Amino acid sequence: MTAPIVTMREALSRPVYFGRQLGGDTWSKWRVLLIAIAGEPLTDDELVVFFALTNRQKQPEGRPREFWGVIGRRGGKSRAMAVLAAWLAGCHDFRDILAPGERGHLPVLAQTRDQATSAFNFICGVFAASSALRGLVDSRAADTLILKSGVDISTRAASFRSARGSTMVAAICDEIAFWRDDTSSANPDVEILRAIRPSLLTTGGPLIAISSPYAERGELWKAYSKHYGVETSKRLVAKASTLEMNSGVDREWIEEQFDDDPVAAEAEFNANFRTDVELFVSRAAIALCITDGVVERGPMSNTVYYGFADPSGGGPDAYTLAIAHRYGDKVVLDVIRERRLADVEGVTAEYAALLKAYGVGVVIGDNFAGEWPKQAFGRYGIEYRKADLFRSDLYLNLLPLINSRRVELLDHQKMMTQFMDLERRVGTSGRDSVNHMRGRHDDIVNAVAGALVYAERVPPPLNFHAPTAGPGRAEVNAMFDGAGQVAGYSRWVP
């Protein structure tokens, strides 16, 4: 990366740059970290702070290739990163590196669009407050600052698609411990960093990843466990509590958080990774149960189907339905539906018609939807019964079926992602519970788990006589002659 027009130390000390924004004792430790990230030498007093934050015994020579900050919530991360973004984009000249007509890109990726907007507002505020830099702003769009220096600073929700194809002068990853993506990958932090790192090769710009910690998994945990305190590493890792980095925060309020939930507060404010949280199920175990390319299975004769609904009256949660059946010693998922429409009555009518097509007259449903689903389904001739198992119990009953490969799932990306968002925790009573991680959803997998578990545990009607030994899937497909029915079966994969 090119030498700066003005050093970080000078920019932090001069009011025309950032002196008014990160001044005073409250921001002293952030100033030490920013100077170290810039690869500039620290004073003896600053080295004491640096050693305490990084668990190193000496400052690395030159600028680190990557910086990873494990910092407690409300520790000043957003403002400090906004200053860093402004210095990287506004205090360097990239004309000798970029091709004629090429523009450099500095993406700031956040967990959600709202968080990205918040980060963008911080960055815009830094430029507006700096009399030396505000003249660099050529124009401002909804999520992009276009600078006369030839660099565009953009903020957006984390996605590996938006991280490819441009020449980056740096990249900032905000709250990376909580990145998830419903549409692309169950491990978006891995995929996004895989896309970012080659984009930094031309300029040699730094990768900056900063977050409060969560569970002992993901790229933040990997960086911390492999590089924290390692003197020779080009990845500089710092770890600090909220109060260490922001002495101005309300201490009494933080103490109240520890009283309410000490385990969560230990991660959020003391920046210690949680040890009580683990993935509910492995990606490999789920993948072994998926029939590739099969997104739905049509109804078959001589088969009892079971439906499970997770109704939603609106808000962020979807209204979902799953249908499954038992075949030999396996349970098979046949249908997944997800609707986010405002017309709840219309979705109920659609689901009722689908259940009737599979011969389902009674649908089991989530406990928390109140009485309206019973009345709504009743209007369309479907009986709605509340489940006698809570969602956590459904997941715990489903797990041995998955691990023993006694389920056949559909090829459904959002279902897979939501399975990967499930976490298993040991409560204070010693009893395990399963729920989705903060800010995520489990509408689809709740319906899937309900359909599969009830198909496995509820016996067929007394007047139903299923074949005691029927053909397998390959045999059924081989017998299928295109007419739709062979010996009481229809084609397994429609």
**Do 267 and 289 have their domain in common?**
no
Domain boundary residue among 275, 308, 337?
Answer: 275
> What is the per-residue DSSP string for 432-445?
EEEEEPTT---HHH
Give the Cα separation of 257 and 241 in Å (integer). Answer: 14
Q: Who wins on pLDDT, 182 or 277?
A: 277
Mean per-residue pLDDT, 332-346: 87
**Do 113 and 40 have their domain in common?**
yes
Domain boundary residue among 236, 256, 275?
Answer: 275
Segment among 276-285, 321-330, 444-453, 471-480 with least mean pLDDT = 471-480
Residue 491 lies in a domain: no
**Do 165 and 198 have their domain in common?**
yes
**Do 314 and 206 have their domain in common?**
no
pLDDT at 488 over 50: no
pLDDT level of residue 160 (50, 70, 90 thresholds): low
pLDDT at 274 over 90: no
**Do 238 and 292 have their domain in common?**
no
Can you give the pTM of this predicted structure?
Answer: 0.67
What is residue 487's predicted lDDT score, i.e. its pLDDT?
35
At 165-187, the pLDDT tens digits run: 688 999 999 999 888 654 444 55
Element (DSSP H or E) covering residue 211: strand 207-211
Domain containing 103 equals 8-275
What is residue 494's predicted lDDT score, i.e. its pLDDT?
31
**Do 253 and 291 have their domain in common?**
no
**Do 248 and 290 have their domain in common?**
no
Beta strands in 387-454 (DSSP E): 407-408, 422-426, 432-436
pLDDT level of residue 224 (50, 70, 90 thresholds): very high
Domain boundary residue among 275, 310, 326?
Answer: 275
**Do 260 and 362 have their domain in common?**
no
pLDDT at 433 over 60: yes
Residue 459 lies in a domain: yes
Give the Cα separation of 313 and 120 in Å (integer). Answer: 33
**Do 240 and 314 have their domain in common?**
no
pLDDT at 125 over 80: yes
Most confident of 21-30, 42-51, 183-192, 341-350: 42-51
pLDDT level of residue 47 (50, 70, 90 thresholds): very high
Dihedral sign computed on CA atoms, order 254, 257, 259, 261:
negative
Buried b (16+ CB within 10 A) or exposed e, 37-61: bbbbebeeebbebbeebbebeebbe
- Please give the tally of structural domains in the chain: 2
**Do 264 and 327 have their domain in common?**
no
**Do 352 and 244 have their domain in common?**
no
